[in-house]
Amino acid sequence: MTENTIDPNSRPAEPVVILVEPQLGENIGMVARAMANFGLGQLRLVSPRDGWPNDKARAAASRADHVIEATRLFGSVQEAIADLSFVFATTARQRDGFKEVRGPVEAARMLRGRATAGQRTGILFGREKFGLSNEEVSLADEIVTFPVNPQFSSLNIAQAVLLMSYEWMKSGLDKETDTAFSGPSVVPADKHHLQSLVDHLEHALESRGYFRPAEKKPKMLDNLRAVLTRPGFSEAEIKVLRGVLSSLDYFSPREPRGAGYPERKARAASAAGTGRGNAGRSDD
């Protein structure tokens, strides 16, 4: 921890996160964790209520120790932003004044562009209870606010930092839709593999009396082909499906085809019951 000192030769491109009079050490720790999640490491504190360093902050940081160790302490907002060329002030409510208001996506892109140009930037976050004062907002260049539910607009300070940190990380991706990892690359199988699956399925269904009435079989097969061609199955996926069908083929039906249909089972049960009744009367 360094109090009110800034190394002019240390100019990381990332924006600085500045917490104004944070109250709870746990909140500071959760802020550090959120920053570390998305590649931010420069945290500044303006007059934290419970002092600094803070053991509760370190515990809540969940191993974001590099952020905690690099945290700087300042006595005023003016001192905390003195070396920065552009600062956003976060707020959940409308303010009087003439400052431009941005959403987090646009704000993060602006910060990224300024960082690329070699400018040092920062984001001001206010107190847990009432945010930033009008005077503190006036020290910033522009305002950033979040599109939240107007009936419940209050954000936990760590949540607000998380949102801006996420947008900062996203603004630096080749594509903003990129993720840390992706699913397997699936190459659709050749059509002859799919036709073999359809043929296999047709045989399995035919042996089990699926195509009823018989004159509707062509249309039913068309429907099956439509269902099976839509997903773009890979060859490996088709092998899985054919393995399932093959396992069913190992068990030959012991009953006549179609005997398992509900209406036939009902007739068979009725006939069996009648037979037992007759047998009982003959024993008498």
Could you report the per-residue pLDDT of 131-145, keeping only the tens digit for each?
999 999 999 999 999
Residue 263 falls inside a structural domain: no
pLDDT tier at 128, thresholds 50, 70, 90: confident
219/244 same-domain check: yes
Measured between alpha carbons, how far is 90 from 6 in angstroms, rounded to an integer?
23
Total of domains in the chain: 2
207/160 same-domain check: no
State the pLDDT at residue 60. Answer: 96
Side chain identity at residue 178, one-letter code:
D
Could you report the per-residue pLDDT of 174-188, keeping only the tens digit for each?
887 787 777 788 888
Which residues lie closer than 8 Å to 124 by C-beta, 6 or more apart? 18, 20, 77, 81, 87, 88, 89, 90, 132, 136, 137, 139, 140
Higher pLDDT, 259 or 206: 206
Give residue 144's domain range: 2-171
Question: Sign (positive/negative) of CA torsion 12, 14, 20, 25?
Answer: negative
CA distance readout (Å), 105 to 124, 154, 213, 242, 279: 16, 19, 59, 48, 83
The CATH number linked to 134 is 3.40.1280.10
227/125 same-domain check: no
Q: How many CB atoms lie within 10 A of CB 47?
A: 16
> pTM to 2 decimals?
0.68
Q: How many CB atoms lie within 10 A of CB 278?
A: 9
Measured between alpha carbons, how far is 142 from 71 in angstroms, rounded to an integer?
24
Name the domain boundary from 148, 171, 194: 171
Residue 268 falls inside a structural domain: no
Residue 39 falls inside a structural domain: yes
214/167 same-domain check: no
135/223 same-domain check: no
pLDDT tier at 200, thresholds 50, 70, 90: very high
